[in-house]
Structure formats: C-alpha cells, structure tokens
Amino acid sequence: METITNNKTENTENTKNTETSLKTVLIAGGAGFIGSNLCRRLLSENNKVICLDNLFTGKMENIQEMFSNKNFAFINHDIVEPITTISGNIDEIYHLACPASPPKYQIDPIYTLKINFTGTLNLLQLAREKNSRILFSSTSEVYGEPQKTPQREDYRGNVNTIGIRSCYDEGKRVAETLMMDYHNKYGVDTRIVRIFNTYGPYMDKDDGRVVTNMIRQMLNDEDITIYGDGTQTRSFCYIDDQIEGQIRLMNSDYHSPVNIGNPREISVNKLCEILKTLIDTRSTIVFYPLPSDDPTNRNPDIDLAKKLLDWEPETDLIDGLKQTINYMKTDMSGKELSE
C-alpha cells in the first residue's frame, strides 16, 4: 500500500492524529463522487481523513485540492486485498467503495461481487481489529423491481439473482448480511445506509447516470438518450443532503438498514423536461431500448430517517440541478444557465 500525504509518498500507512483534529475517519471509496464530498465535509469539521481508493472509478481530480490539508492522507489500495498496514487508531470507517453506475459495475461483474463480499469482509476485519464504527453504503437496488411503493426498510424486495444488475444488487444484499453477522457475532459497531439515486458536484460526467448524461448532452447539443419510454421513475437526492443523512446515521446507535434519499419521485421524462428549462440547448430526445432489469420505480420511505435521525432532504431539485450543471460546465465548452 502506498500512502500519500501533502503530495509526498510515505512508507508508513498512517500519521498520528493531530492535537486539534476530532476523529480519524477512513473513507473507502473516498475518491469517488459521494466519498470525495464526504472527505471534504469531514475535513472541514477538523477530522483527520484517510481516503482509501484504487481509482477504479474514483478520480484523483476529485481529491486533489485536499492534499494540502495536513489532516488528509490518501492510500491507493483495492479493498479486495487485505488491509493490513494501517497503523494507529481509526474511529470510523465509511465503506463507499464500489462502482455505482450500471455501465461501470457491469464492466466486470465478478469484480463487483468481490468488492461487495471480499472487500466488505476486509473492511469489517479492519473495523474489528481497530474497534472502529463502520457504515456500509448499501443501495435502493436491494429492493430490485419493487412491488411496493414507497419502499420501506422492512420491504424485502424483488431481485433477479441472474440478471445484468445482479452483481450489484445481490452483492449489496450479501454485504448487508455480512455487516449484520459481524455485528451479531463479533459485536462490531455497524451501520447500513440504503442510498437512493444521488446527484451533485463531483459526479463523474461520463459514468452513464441519467442526470450527468442529460446535462452533458444538453450542454453539447447532442441527442438526449432516454431509455425505454421514459415513464420509469427515480427520486433524486442532492449530495449535501445525502452526506448529512449518512453522518447522522453514523452518529446514531442504530444497526439495521436506513433509507437515505429524496421522496420526490419523478419520471425520466420529467427530469428531462426540467433540465431543458435550465439549459439553453438545441438537443432533441432519442429513445433507446430499456436495459433489462431497469427498475420501473424508486421512491424511498424516509419515515425511519426522520424519526431516528431527525433528517430529511432540504435541497430543492431545481437548486441541486443548477449546482450540478455549474459543476459540469467548469471543464466543458458549456452554455449559460437559462434564467
């Protein structure tokens, strides 16, 4: 493993907590979209952050500006391999390490399964050794093609075990099981968040998600790709709300899964319509076949998060999309936002 702090490569894997920092937090998948936003937030609250990532889908550019912070360290490591050489205390582990975009996690489905089983096992082992609290990022995909809406945590889902999404869906399901088994058998202090579609700055512009695809296409006057007839729904949560929910869950003492997402459900067609009001574009819609096992609906029931964490999303969809568009325009030829 190689650790980089303040742009220097070091042989040791951890540095002592500085006097002023509050907690030492390891973020697996810390160079990804959610992970890098979480690194930034935890650093801003004076924590020491160890970002662990193998850059499979995470990006150095997402974390570059943090290298100047003395409380930040980066370890280039694949969690599928044992994590043996981090010295020192770790108070909390956020396990966000897994490609989350369907085209990316389908590139190598067996690797996706390994990340979720072996990778989660390795992080749980680390949590056990270090006596760390550990939060696993699960997904709304555990509900599969839901026959109940909105989806509540006690709904057990309707998942295809052998489809093109199964490596991710079943991987996340078995990882939830592993988390609970480590909690029950070894007393590891576990948390499980079920993340519903989340968007915002630092999302990979090319990873194939609907929000980034549509914004990129509209900014470049390219065809807007809608899969199926566009009536399938998703519920889009802004990144800052997502992170606030996860931090509150980490600070709670609840071990069973908790949905974190925005209950405002809209169709893909409606999302496209909204984005067209925000971007001055000549793009037109082209319909493509719906990929197999693409869920028809997603809508989190967030009553548990409200009661348990006193949390609910605060960012309006239009405001969040404007932030995302502005971020995506920074290195694209770009057009001005429509007023």
Residues that bind ligand UDP (CB under 6 A): 101-102, 197, 209-210, 213, 225-227, 232, 234, 268, 291, 294
C-alpha closest to that of 230 among 278, 264, 270: 270
Of 130 and 209, which CB lies nearer to ligand UDP in the complex structure?
209
Of 244 and 265, which CB lies nearer to ligand UDP in the complex structure?
265
Distance (Å, whole) CA 188 – CA 133: 7
Of 30 and 146, which CB lies nearer to ligand UDP in the complex structure?
146
Tokens read off for 172: 């996340």
Of 17 and 323, which CB lies nearer to ligand UDP in the complex structure?
323
Of 168 and 182, which CB lies nearer to ligand UDP in the complex structure?
168
The least distance separating ligand UDP from the CB of residue 285, rounded to whole angstroms, comes to 10
The least distance separating ligand UDP from the CB of residue 214, rounded to whole angstroms, comes to 6
User: Over the Cα atoms of the chain, what is R_g?
Assistant: 20
List C-alpha distances in Å: 125 to 82, 111, 217: 9, 20, 43
Expressed in percent and rounded to 5, the helix, strand and coil fractions of the chain are 35, 20, 45
The least distance separating ligand UDP from the CB of residue 43, rounded to whole angstroms, comes to 28
Taking phi first (over 0 means left), then psi (-120 to 50 degrees means alpha), and beta for anything else, what does residue 144 get? left
List helix spans (H) across the chain: 33-44, 60-63, 102-105, 109-114, 120-130, 166-186, 210-219, 239-251, 268-278, 303-309, 317-329
Distance (Å, whole) CA 116 – CA 260: 19
Of 14 and 232, which CB lies nearer to ligand UDP in the complex structure?
232
Strand arrangement, sheet containing 190-195 = 8-10, 2-5, 72-76, 48-53, 24-28, 92-95, 133-139, 190-195, 257-260
The least distance separating ligand UDP from the CB of residue 19, rounded to whole angstroms, comes to 43
231 contacts 191 by C-beta, under 8 angstroms? no
The least distance separating ligand UDP from the CB of residue 3, rounded to whole angstroms, comes to 33
Tokens read off for 102: 């369907």
The least distance separating ligand UDP from the CB of residue 232, rounded to whole angstroms, comes to 4
Of 132 and 217, which CB lies nearer to ligand UDP in the complex structure?
217
**Catalytic choice (105, 168, 182, 199):** 168
- Beta-bridged to residue 235, according to DSSP, are 265
The least distance separating ligand UDP from the CB of residue 198, rounded to whole angstroms, comes to 10
C-alpha closest to that of 198 among 31, 35, 58: 35
Whether residue 186 lies in the annotated active site: no
Which residues are designated catalytic?
A: 168
